[in-house]
Structure 1
Amino acid sequence: MARWIESWMPGSSTGPPGRGADGHPGQRFGLPAEGVSSVAGFGRRLGALLVDWLLGYLIALLVLGSDEIGGPNLSWAVLGIWFLLTAVPVAVFGASAGMTLLGIRVASIDSAPVIGIPRALLRTALIALVLPAVARDGDGRGWHDRAARTIVVRTRA
């Protein structure tokens, strides 16, 4: 039986969690089961997000100074800096600093070389809301990836 979200979220897989409808995550997009260009696992994706967030935190502290630790301005500054550090490189290069470090990148499911600015902004804004990134389909794509028509793949084994 399909999960409730699959009834109204287009492009949903009805297979068991963690597997695409045809066997392995990403198979319906023509991706291999393992190695380069396979679907990136949740651990790598979370690690990349943490690296980017820490980088944003460090830059915010450098800009605002250590006096802002615990202040309300620091949280917003970190969010804004993280947003820029994620959206711009993903739009232009397909990967943020954390993604590059962990060997993953954002790929378009329509074979475009990069996803472009509008889709990168949408994707990053939805990641900032957290829930869209946590609710994933059988191909490992969160709502943010589905809305932007993207999939996160490995760049190295």
Structure 2
Amino acid sequence: MNRQPRWTQTWLGGVRAAGADLGRPGERLGLPATGPGSVSGFARRIGAVIIDWLICTWAIGRGILGADPSRSPWIGLLVFALEYIILAGTTGTTLGMLLFRIKIITVTGHRPSLKSILIRTLLLCLAIPALIWDRDNRGLHDRAAGTVVVLK
């Protein structure tokens, strides 16, 4: 009798249980394993977003614009989106990314176009696409924009 694993065994055990070799993050994209140009990890990326969010909501939103984040949360989100579009669109990095020494590039290794940055920013502001990652540490916002976040 030919005993094949049930689909639940593969599903519950994950793709490695099915015998899939996933490789390291960035390998499929031709990126190095470590050092500059390698795929950034979750901790650096989330740290950069937290720094950017704090700068945009408290320093700019409250300090410069005088908006209370508890009364007008959309102001912080708007400033956050503008920061990403302006800074990432021109330099490939934001203030938080500078601090954590990471940058945004296309999967071909170039600076992202304005269209890519707009797509990425819109989906990042929705939050959910940024929380769903693939094996190359790319969120849905990165995949839709054709970008990847790498170490500087």
Same fold by TM (over 0.5)?
Answer: yes
Are 1:120 and 2:121 counterparts? Answer: no
- Percent identity of equivalent pairs: 36
Matched letter for residue 80 of structure 1: L
Which one has the largest radius of gyration? 2
CA offsets 1:81-108 (integer angstroms, 9 cap, x no match): 0111112211111101100110000011
Q: Equivalent residues in 2 for 1:48-87 (5 A)?
A: 48-57=48-57, 58-65=59-66, 68-71=68-71, 73=72, 75-87=73-85
User: Number of residues paired by the alignment?
Assistant: 138
Q: Equivalent residues in 2 for 1:90-105 (5 A)?
A: 90-105=88-103
Task: Report 1 or 2 for greater relative contact order, CA contacts < 8 Å, sequence distance ≥ 6.
Answer: 1
Q: Which residue of 2 aligns with 1:34?
A: 34
Within the candidate set 98, 107, 110, 2:108 is matched to: 110
Question: How far apart in 1 are the matches of 2:115 and 2:66?
Answer: 32
Q: Secondary structure at the match of 1:27?
A: coil
1:15–1:138 Cα contact (<8 Å) kept: no
Question: How far apart in 1 are the matches of 2:66 and 2:114?
Answer: 31
Unaligned stretches of 5+ residues in structure 2:
1-6
Give the Å deviation of 1:69.
Answer: 5.0
Question: How far apart in 1 are the matches of 2:101 and 2:41?
Answer: 11
Q: TM-score of the superposition, structure 2-length normalised?
A: 0.82
- Which stretches of structure 1, 4 residues or longer, exceed 4 Å deviation after superposition? none
CA RMSD of aligned residues (A): 2.2
Q: Secondary structure at the match of 1:106?
A: strand
Q: TM-score of the superposition, structure 1-length normalised?
A: 0.80
Give the Å deviation of 1:65.
Answer: 2.4
Q: Which residue of 1 aligns with 2:3?
A: none
Unaligned stretches of 5+ residues in structure 1:
4-13
CA offsets 1:99-138 (integer angstroms, 9 cap, x no match): 01100000111232x1121110110110111111110000
